[in-house]
Amino acid sequence: MTTSVKYLVNFVISEKMATQVEPPNGIGTQGKHYYSMWQALFEIDTKYVPIKPIGRGAYGIVCSSVNRETNEKVAIKKIHNAFENRVDALRTLRELKLLRHLRHENVIALKDVMMPIHRRSFKDVYLVYELMDTDLHQIIKSSQALTNDHCQYFLLQLLRGLKYLHSANILHRDLKPGNLLVNANCDLKICDFGLARTSSGKDQFMTEYVVTRWYRAPELLLCCDNYGTSIDVWSVGCIFAELLGRKPIFPGTECLNQLKLIINILGSQREEDLEFIDNPKARKYIKSLPYTPGTALPRLYPNAHPLAIDLLQKMLVFDPSKRISVTEALQHPYMSPLYDPNSNPPAQVPIDLDMVEDLGEEMIREMMWKEMLNYHPEALTGEPELLRGLKYLHSANILHRDLKPGNLLVNANCDLKICDFGLARTSSGKDQFMTEKPIFPGTECLNQLKLIINILGSQREEDLEFIDNPKARKYIKSLPYTPGTALPRLYPNAHPLAIDLLQKMLVFDPSKRISVTEALQHPYMSPLYDPNSNPPAQVPIDLDMVEDLGEEMIREMMWKEIDAAAAKAMEYMEQVANSYLGRVDQPNPG
């Protein structure tokens, strides 16, 4: 591109700064600070320094900010009472789920989602995006001159980003100038994915309110049940026309008026071009409109480049099956001199964004919380799943004996499961001593003890009574005195209740260490934990085994375990079949 597309606008940014305020009721949260903007309170992480308000609307309030840890400029959007409207809450959840997977220079990046304090009751959501200067709607309505180079460059980036989205199986479904962010260098990024869906064929029915009317494709206006990526191409055509003419091409006042405006410009359609309309009443309405030859696009945009007009005509085609695709648009002579397909690789894997649409507030909040954990894996330790699983094991008389991050499996929804029971034993009092081969062989065992003492501090005599090995007790007492290290110093951003619970877990004397049940009842966990949803094991498990078994005996015992598991699986499958045929109640997987 020529340099004429650079520094499109000298953006005038307000000098009004956000005002730092005291927390509500004077009670703040560690790791958070508070600012007032447009009479709204921002409770944000201390690493973000709000600079000034950017904008506000039905979506929430946005301020520009700087991440003090990376020195990166960001935009923070606060969604107030995010769950007040279920449809809006689903839009936010959809955007969170989608942006976690998307990585493209022409798609807005979601940098962070701030973790709320209370998992079950948080109301506000804070989304942190890369900072852009304005949007295409503001540029179009400004007095800034737009050359052919500007239009070409904006369209190139929009098509690049859209090609990436379509390769990821995503339909944006709400492309419009206001959802295209731009900076002073004319870099463009697609944003607002609250209405996006996968193009897998599921959930294809579109409500009337999806896609802003002026940019809505004919197949949506005519309530066609099936649609595809061509709906986004139509929207791009409308945006392109608006760039060329500095006003919307189809500014309809309602759905039927929108269709009339489209026909007035494109002209009356042939019978064969109406075959995609599967609603008889909709097809009848289109055929009832007075004949019109349409309006030639060169008359509407006399100053546009001829190749721009040709591409626009191929985008604004009534029949979606004859509309140009994004890939074809990028190969069009108006775009091809600028487009390098090697610099625009497709998404690595298609994205499945299907969600149940009738979720309640509690479930939406829970799913949103789990999405937030993708940006804050360190907060996973505050999840009750580990303690819930451990409580169940202890109720079954089982000590895991090898809990570590590598033995905690997590899926994309942040559901956690304990694994690797190869070192597990019953807690019956038998076989409590580990085999003579230490689990951590070598001199690091002593170093491990030193590290523990350095943080917990030197122990009192009474806290060493549990050590029944005189040499071991003597070693601990021989270590130099240390007051230890305060945990709040190690974890300055942690919640005070998290620190309190951690202190109760990391107690040297096991008799004074908090139990799993007590941990779940701790104020840090109790708001999240429902004991009724975590019943104990039905019977304690006896895992006593002779440790010096030979290979043949181990193989025989393993075969019996496999045979028993297979028999149980067959019994369950028979229950499933009978249940399907209506002969018995729902199966119990045991």
Looking at residues 16-36, what average pLDDT do you find?
A: 82
* Phi/psi of residue 6, nearest 5 degrees: -85, 150
Question: Does 418 have pLDDT greater than 50?
Answer: yes
**Which segment, 50-54, 287-291, 313-317, is predicted with the most confidence on average?**
313-317
Question: Does 431 have pLDDT greater than 70?
Answer: no
> In this structure, is residue 480 part of a structural domain?
yes
174 has catalytic annotation? yes
Residue 536 confidence (pLDDT)? 82
**d(Cα 328, Cα 333) in Å, to the nearest integer?**
10
Residue finishing a domain among 485, 506, 533: 533
Residue 77 is part of a domain; what is its CATH number?
3.30.200.20
Q: Do residues 341 and 246 lie in contact, with contact meaning Cβ atoms separated by under 8 Å?
A: no
pLDDT digits (tens, 9 = 90+) for 96-120: 999 999 999 999 999 999 999 888 8
> In this structure, is residue 5 part of a structural domain?
no
- Look at 156 and 579; give whichever has higher pLDDT: 156
Question: Does 261 have pLDDT greater than 60?
Answer: yes
- Taking CA atoms, 62 is separated from 127, 223, 339, 379, 558, in Å, by 9, 35, 33, 25, 61
> In this structure, is residue 539 part of a structural domain?
no
- Please check whether residues 117 and 67 belong to one and the same domain: yes
Residue 581 confidence (pLDDT)? 55
Q: Do residues 330 and 373 lie in contact, with contact meaning Cβ atoms separated by under 8 Å?
A: no
- Please check whether residues 381 and 370 belong to one and the same domain: no
Question: Does 250 have pLDDT greater than 50?
Answer: yes
- Please check whether residues 529 and 569 belong to one and the same domain: no
> In this structure, is residue 540 part of a structural domain?
no
- Please check whether residues 127 and 184 belong to one and the same domain: no
The band of 46, judged by pLDDT with boundaries at 50, 70 and 90, is: very high
> In this structure, is residue 2 part of a structural domain?
no
The band of 413, judged by pLDDT with boundaries at 50, 70 and 90, is: low
- Please check whether residues 23 and 143 belong to one and the same domain: no
Residue 417 confidence (pLDDT)? 87
Residue 472 confidence (pLDDT)? 84
Residue 504 confidence (pLDDT)? 92
* Structural domain of 396: 376-533
- Please check whether residues 209 and 285 belong to one and the same domain: yes
**d(Cα 48, Cα 128) in Å, to the nearest integer?**
10
The band of 420, judged by pLDDT with boundaries at 50, 70 and 90, is: confident
> In this structure, is residue 358 part of a structural domain?
no
pLDDT digits (tens, 9 = 90+) for 316-341: 999 999 999 999 999 999 999 999 99
Please say whether the dihedral angle defined by the alpha carbons of residues 433, 430, 518 and 373, taken in this order, is positive or negative.
positive
- Please check whether residues 214 and 245 belong to one and the same domain: yes
pLDDT digits (tens, 9 = 90+) for 351-360: 876 666 778 8
pLDDT digits (tens, 9 = 90+) for 159-212: 999 999 999 999 999 999 999 999 999 999 999 998 998 875 444 444 444 558
- Please check whether residues 389 and 528 belong to one and the same domain: yes
> In this structure, is residue 3 part of a structural domain?
no
Average pLDDT, the chain: 84
Closest among 353, 359, 351 to 89, alpha carbons compared: 359
Looking at residues 431-446, what average pLDDT do you find?
A: 47
- Taking CA atoms, 492 is separated from 29, 38, 486, 487, 496, in Å, by 12, 30, 10, 8, 9
Residue 519 is part of a domain; what is its CATH number?
1.10.510.10
Please say whether the dihedral angle defined by the alpha carbons of residues 381, 384, 388 and 394, taken in this order, is positive or negative.
positive
Q: Locate tokens 């694994």: which residue?
A: 419
Looking at residues 231-245, what average pLDDT do you find?
A: 98
- Please check whether residues 157 and 227 belong to one and the same domain: yes
User: What pTM was estimated for this model as a whole?
Assistant: 0.67
Residue 202 confidence (pLDDT)? 45
Question: Does 4 have pLDDT greater than 90?
Answer: no
437 labeled binding residue: no
- Please check whether residues 119 and 143 belong to one and the same domain: no
- Please check whether residues 203 and 71 belong to one and the same domain: no
pLDDT digits (tens, 9 = 90+) for 262-283: 999 999 999 999 999 988 899 9
- Look at 552 and 366; give whichever has higher pLDDT: 366
Residue 487 confidence (pLDDT)? 83
> In this structure, is residue 542 part of a structural domain?
no
Question: Does 440 have pLDDT greater than 60?
Answer: no
Question: Does 94 have pLDDT greater than 60?
Answer: yes
Number of structural domains (the chain) is 4
Residue 163 confidence (pLDDT)? 97
- Taking CA atoms, 554 is separated from 422, 459, 545, in Å, by 14, 44, 11
- Please check whether residues 433 and 529 belong to one and the same domain: yes
Residue 590 identity: G
Task: Give the torsion through C-alpha atoms of 582, 584, 587, 590, to 10 deg.
Answer: -170
Out of 45, 133, 135, 174, the active site residue is 174
